[in-house]
Amino acid sequence: LGSFFFVLLAAGHYLARFGTMYSEKGIVVGAGYADVVAYLPVIRILMIMATIIAVLCYVWIFAISRQQIPGKRHILVSVIVLYLLISIIAPAAIPGIVQAFKVSPNEEKLEQPYIESNIRFTKIAYGLTDVEEKDFSVEMMTPEILSNATETLDNVRILDWRPLTQTYKQTQEMRLYYDLSGIDIDRYEINGSYTEVMIAPREMNQERLQAKTWVNLHMVYTHGFGVVMSPVNSVTKEGMPNYLIKDIPPVYAVRDEELRIEVPQVYYGEMDNDFVLVNTRTSEFDYPMGDTNEYIHYDGRGGVKLDSSTKELLMAMRFADIKILLSGEITPESRIMFERSIKERISKITPFLTLDEDPYLVISDGRLFWILDAYTVTDRFPYSEKHGSINYVRNSVKIVVDAYNGDVTYYIVDTTDPIIATYTKIFPGHFRSFDLMPDGIKKHVRYPEDLFKVQSAIYNTYHMDNVKVFYNKEDAWQIPSEVYGTGQQVPVDPYYIIIKLPGAAKEEFVLMSSVTPIRKDNMVAWLAARSDGDHYGELLLYKFPKEKLVYGPLQIEAKFDQDAVISQQLTLWSQQGSRVTRGNLLVIPLEDSILYIEPLYIQAETGQLPELKRVLVSDGERVVMEEDLDKALVALFGKTRPETLEADSEEGEKSTEALITEAQMYYDAILDSMGKNWTAFGENFDKLGEVLGELEAD
């Protein structure tokens, strides 16, 4: 037993050598000078000693004990005592002495190769080896630059999803049991225009049901219905969202097949509702229609078919609910749906994947689908800096879930990841190639925000390739802060934007964030992740000139606060029983210039509807506050967009071309709602009349 025990110790010492690749004792993660020069030799000696002791134990059994040679047992005991002393003292003491007396006085020089390994392997671990760095000269914004950036300006997100959530909930939930809290940002090709939108599914929240009877919970109120969608840059005169899709049944502001929803029912979503029984003798509530309700019977393939008494018994046992057996409403065609929360559903199927925090809904081919990003992670990547509990991450998989049937499909988007390659071999046929994803869903794939945050945090330090600069942290960056809400300073979240990148041929959907030097507020660069087509996953870093001051978000916020007109107006609103809410400050790169835009919401103290009332805009030097973005740009630069602004821009009048386009939009909406939704027909008819009146006045 003693011999076998020391064989195991020797094997343990052999394996312990590899642990130095994850060591956090040195200046960086991974083996350092003291580890290689002192710790590894000590471990090697211990391994050899343990092997010798294992042999001595074996020899002592078959040789010394049989010959009964007196006084020889102390040799074995002495070796064991020596081994114990060395194993307790040497692994900590010897590397500590080397670190204190040799490494510390010459740390930068001696640790150089190990710092280089840490930089190289950390970039590999977080997918940062191919970041393309470019120079961004930062020139003064001009009207010519603005006039060439029409599509970017038409998609500037002046609506903030947090206050907009309240507006969606108050105006579009329709009934208490619906929930519209999950607003997501995406892009659609709407009537030939690449448009950034906010979209939220109208999910069923069973906790809000007034009558929580067993039949209501499990047979009647089984699903949500439809979505609400609005462009990120358009509001009504009252400051409310200009809905592209609204109401029940859906009313469309434009006629476009890409937005058409033929199957609006949401059985699987983000809500954690109870199991439901569908296609029973009891009709399911579909949606409210005035003073009455519409009902349906489920005709999909979701859930488990209850076509035998055995299945009913098993499900009754599974949910500890005997009413499943006793109910006379269940037929052989009935189905039971459970695990309807998409994140829990996916976690049951693939618990080895780490899921993104934000699933988002897309419309494709008349149906609703959820897209969720999944990651492979580990904390055992050599020489890599840790972020939280991990030191390696890959967004290897895109998961698509059918909101009607609950089908879960996995698509591999990163074939270079060894972890997902291993799982693919373990579960053959479970993961599909990204090329097999339907085109209608593929064009809504976006770079995940959670991954971008992790990569940004790591790259703030690991953009420094020079060992001397890295050692001294001379050029370390940080995520900037902004003034948000009622005046709190919060870190700036990355944001999606449709923008024409410098040197690119057309606008595209990117996720971006700006960076500032550590403990300073001026910007030094901005990082972008591309999401469209063949460029998906590419990371671009645009670096500002070191000799030029480029204002960061907090500095622009200070400029807004220091402006006499703006600060006086904010104070006045706050004193009139209203609450002023500041939205995200967006840093918008246009060619080689920067534009800063921040929405301003006003909400009555007794009300729950924040309204977009002002837009703050700055070119870095001047600041203005106007009713909308067009007026703010006119105030800063004069007449900048002739295609949308008439000579009387300051009055906010629309051009004839814009009025004709708006009239066509309402006409299309009238045709679409005719015979289906007379309320929407009347609303759109009235709006068409208003637009025609404006045209007649022109």
Question: DSSP labels for 529-555?
Answer: EE-SGGGTT-EEEEEPPTTS----HHH
581 within 8 A of 601, measured Cβ to Cβ: yes
Query: How many Å apart are CA 476 and CA 520, to the nearest integer?
Result: 11
The more confidently predicted of residues 648 and 473 is: 473
Once rounded to an integer, what is the mean pLDDT over residues 197-211?
94
Q: Can you give the three-state secondary structure of 356-410, one letter per residue?
A: CCCCEEEEECCEEEEEEEEEEEECCCCCCCCECCECEEEEEEEEEEECCCCCEEE
pLDDT at 644: 41
Q: Where residue 686 falls among pLDDT bands split at 50, 70, 90?
A: confident
Distances (CA, A) of 188 to 403, 436, 665: 19, 21, 17
Listed range (184-198, 464-478, 637-651) with the worst mean pLDDT: 637-651
Once rounded to an integer, what is the mean pLDDT over residues 582-608?
88
Q: Where residue 505 falls among pLDDT bands split at 50, 70, 90?
A: confident
Q: What are residue 195's DSSP bridge partners?
A: 188
**Chain segment 54-100, per-residue pLDDT in tens:** 998 888 777 665 665 555 667 778 888 999 999 999 999 999 999 99
Once rounded to an integer, what is the mean pLDDT over residues 466-481?
94
Q: CA-based Rg of the chain, rounded to a whole angstrom?
A: 32
Q: Where residue 21 falls among pLDDT bands split at 50, 70, 90?
A: very high
pLDDT at 643: 46
List, in sequence order, the alpha helices (H) in 487-585: 553-562, 564-575
pLDDT exceeds cutoff 50 at 649: no
Query: How many Å apart are CA 158 and CA 281, to the nearest integer?
Result: 48
pLDDT exceeds cutoff 60 at 526: yes
pLDDT at 144: 87
Listed range (120-129, 343-352, 563-572) with the worst mean pLDDT: 563-572
Looking at every residue in the chain, the average pLDDT score rounds to 90
Closest by Cα among 620, 592, 556 to 139: 592
Cα within 13 Å of Cα(617), Cβ side: 24
Residue 417 token pair: 């990841």
Once rounded to an integer, what is the mean pLDDT over residues 333-341?
96
Taking the model in full, what pTM does it have?
0.87
Q: Where residue 679 falls among pLDDT bands split at 50, 70, 90?
A: low
Q: Where residue 117 falls among pLDDT bands split at 50, 70, 90?
A: very high
Q: Where residue 654 falls among pLDDT bands split at 50, 70, 90?
A: low
Distances (CA, A) of 568 to 264, 562, 612, 625: 47, 10, 18, 12
**Chain segment 621-644, per-residue pLDDT in tens:** 999 999 889 889 988 887 555 444
Q: Where residue 487 falls among pLDDT bands split at 50, 70, 90?
A: confident
pLDDT at 639: 56
Listed range (19-28, 36-45, 355-364) with the worst mean pLDDT: 19-28
Q: Where residue 598 falls among pLDDT bands split at 50, 70, 90?
A: very high
Residue 179 token pair: 């929930």
Q: What angle do CA 212, 214, 218 make, to 5 degrees?
A: 100
**Chain segment 280-310, per-residue pLDDT in tens:** 999 999 999 878 899 999 999 999 999 999 9
